[in-house]
Amino acid sequence: MKNILLLTILLSIFCKANAQIKFITGYQNANIDTVVSVANYSTNTICFSPHRDSLNTETVWYNFGITGFRTDTIITFLMNYNNIYYPPNYPVVSYNGKEYFNVKASQRNNINQFFVKPNNDTVYVSTGYPYTYSRLQQLITNIGNNQFFKIDSSFTTPKGHHLYLLTVTNNAVKKRNKKNVWIIARQHAFESISNFVIEGMIKYLMSDNVKETDLLSKYTFYIVPMVDIDNVISGQSGRMSYPRDFNRDWNSPIHSEIAFLERWIKKSGKNRFDMFFDIHATYPGGRTTNVFSYFDIHGGNSKSQNLSQFWQRFYTFTHYRPKTIDDTNVYQEGYSADYYNAKKYKRLQFSTTIECDWNVNSRGKVWQIADYLNLGENILKAVPVK
């Protein structure tokens, strides 16, 4: 309570509440701390902080709109933060809530500042490119009757939303030794960019390009694009939430989604379970430069060597070789997904968490949606078919 009071006083130095400027939060994935969100019409200044509660213990995700501001001068946004890894270096802005573009932010004295030139009477801002449940549903619809895809939406979340499992393979090829690859994403609701990577994978598997390879004749892909759906929709950050976040819940799950995933994986694991990918995103304030992946050091040297060889193949398409980081992935709260699966399924080539970056890539450019889509495609191209 003291921190909230202090923050309110601090931000009030810059902003004074003004009824002409209104905050917009009534849409999917929106989130802002209304306790300390204030605005000054005369200076066109917006002060805010990401929401904090048991589902948002790390104040990293914001996504909201404003209207009623002055359109004749630059809008100044001042975000409060309490950890250098939380504030985005390149937040995104939209004039219609659909198409977004990056702006550069700067940090000083626990304030993350960025500027927006008004284009109309409404502006939307977010930590990074939002990816909504509605966009995922549209992607599922676009799959249509693709011959390689089977869509299972039988499981519903506690709030009644469909959890999608996509099974992708060439069913015309009956091979007993066909390998299984599991791919999941969005265990942490704020990590929106991971879903663009998944979308890139799905679009590649739908394309004519994949027909020219033996990929779907040798593998069955099981893809769960969005795990923490309820928190994605309500705009929560999800990471390190109480009593346990989704990626700390794999040894004795309290979340029904994780328990169901474990049963799904066990059922498919009767055949050869070959690779496991968990797609995540770094903190938006981190400066990792491109992607990197964790792997389970308890899995043995052969698994780490297999992962290194995978990234070597990835390099042939991208000219970038992600670094791999030893990680036990055993947290005080419980097991992560990649650790759990590596321990349970000994025949895995590897089990890894891929962390995607929000900032500048290896070419010195800020990551764009097209880059994430290409990343997803190139990850699948690195799966060996020989």
pLDDT tens-place string over residues 159-210: 999 999 999 999 988 877 789 999 999 999 999 999 999 999 999 999 998 9
SS3 11: helix
pTM above 0.85, yes or no: yes
Fold of 2-126: Immunoglobulin-like (2.60.40)
Q: Residues of CATH 2.60.40.3120 domain(s) within the chain?
A: 2-126
Cα gap 131→127, rounded to integer Å? 12
Give the whole-number percent of the chain exceeding pLDDT 70. 91
Using the CB atoms, write b or e for 81-102: b if 16+ within 10 Å.
beeeebbbbbbbbbbebeebeb
Identify the band that residue 2 occupies on the pLDDT scale cut at 50, 70 and 90.
very low
* Alpha-carbon separation of residue 195 from 28, 132, 264, 340 (angstroms): 15, 9, 21, 22
pLDDT tens-place string over residues 302-358: 888 888 899 999 999 888 888 777 766 666 678 999 989 988 998 899 999 999 999
pLDDT tens-place string over residues 211-230: 888 999 999 999 999 999 99
Q: Residues of CATH 3.40.630.10 domain(s) within the chain?
A: 133-381
Per the CB < 8 A criterion, the answer to whether 105 and 114 are in contact is yes
The superfamily CATH assigns to domain 133-381 is Zn peptidases (3.40.630.10)
